[in-house]
Amino acid sequence: MSRMKTYFASANTFTMKKNLKEKKNVFSQTFHVQTAGCQLRVKRIEPQSGTRLKDRPTLVFLHEGLGCIEIWRDFPETLCESLGFSGLVYDRRGYGGSEMFEGPWPVNYLEMESLIYLPAVLKECNIDNSVLIGHSDGGTIALIAAASHSNLVSGIITEAAHIFVEQITIEGIRSAVEAFETTSLKEKFARYHKEHTETIFYRWAERWLSPEFQNWNIQSILPKITCPALILQGKDDEYGTTAQVMGIAGRVSGPVDVKLIPDCGHIPHFQAKDTVLSEMTRFIKGLF
């Protein structure tokens, strides 16, 4: 589980205060919005004056099942800066600085995010044209949203997305539970989710390990995806096999590009950052 330990070790400390940061040719601002019956924490990324390309979609970054804004580190700013695009990152309900979600995740929690909360965030932030960039659970959310809200999505990029449950996924989550309970992973994770750390972790793990979730599958909706798609996965992904990316590529209706990244696990945008930035930049530029 060394990759999981490394995953949380080097991001900046979480803050819930309104924040304004600059990174060369972009600046970011973090704030809260009230939408879909709850309060969600959002970060907007904007190119400095004169560098933004007009009439371009917003890059919307969707975090994984244990994620939040900070866990992306500076990846969203770097990609937005290289392209001259605006960006948006948000903590999903139940994560980071967003309002907590009471009770366990429903079996359809990924569908709920795609059909209820994501469209509400886009509407509240005046975004009617997006490229969805999702990691793990976020990648799955991007797929469902593209199938259901094609009018809002110009393209999707997924990293390590799941479309069904595999045994390797179950084994990976069981290993994550062991690491959470026996190593310093819990303390590192608490930097981002504070007093809600155990709730967030066990809610995610217990849902994926539950008997009722083993038949979860979204393959039937993939033909509804008509926008271009870039599907990324590390060849050494400890949570999924190539059956995931091949399953996506073989079912979507729009143009699709698959990239299996060598010497890379479940977190390509960290473990193969230069390759991922290059692939995403190439794909997004090719949309216009």
Average pLDDT score, the chain: 91
What is the CATH number for 73? Answer: 3.40.50.1820
Q: What is the mean pLDDT of residues 21-33?
A: 82
Task: Answer whether residue 155 shows pLDDT above 90.
Answer: yes
Residue 114 is which amino acid? S
Task: Answer whether residue 212 shows pLDDT above 90.
Answer: yes
Task: Answer whether residue 170 shows pLDDT above 70.
Answer: yes
Sign of the alpha-carbon torsion through 85, 244, 183, 91: positive
- Whole domain around residue 52: which residue ranges? 2-285
What is the DSSP code (8-state) at residue 64? -
Percent of the chain with pLDDT over 90: 86
Q: 115, 109, 121: which is closest to 149 by C-alpha?
A: 115
Q: Over the stretch 39-86, which tens digit does the pLDDT of each residue have?
A: 999 999 998 866 566 689 999 999 999 999 999 999 999 999 999 999
Assigned token pair, 287: 């949309």
- Residues 82 and 287: their CA atoms lie apart, in Å, by 15
Overall domain count for the chain: 1
Q: 138, 116, 137, 119: which is closest to 128 by C-alpha?
A: 119
Instruction: Return the H-helix or E-strand segment holding 279.
Output: helix 273-285
- Segments in 114-166 forming alpha helices (H): 118-124, 137-148
What is the DSSP code (8-state) at residue 31? E
Q: 268, 279, 277, 281: which is closest to 64 by C-alpha?
A: 268
16: confidence class by pLDDT, cuts 50, 70, 90: very low
- Residues 211 and 145: their CA atoms lie apart, in Å, by 26
Assigned token pair, 116: 């209820």
Q: pTM for the complete prediction?
A: 0.92
The backbone torsions φ and ψ at residue 226, rounded to the nearest 5 degrees and listed phi first, read -110, -15
- Residues 129 and 146: their CA atoms lie apart, in Å, by 12
Q: Over the stretch 184-208, which tens digit does the pLDDT of each residue have?
A: 999 999 999 999 999 999 999 999 9
Assigned token pair, 177: 């539970």
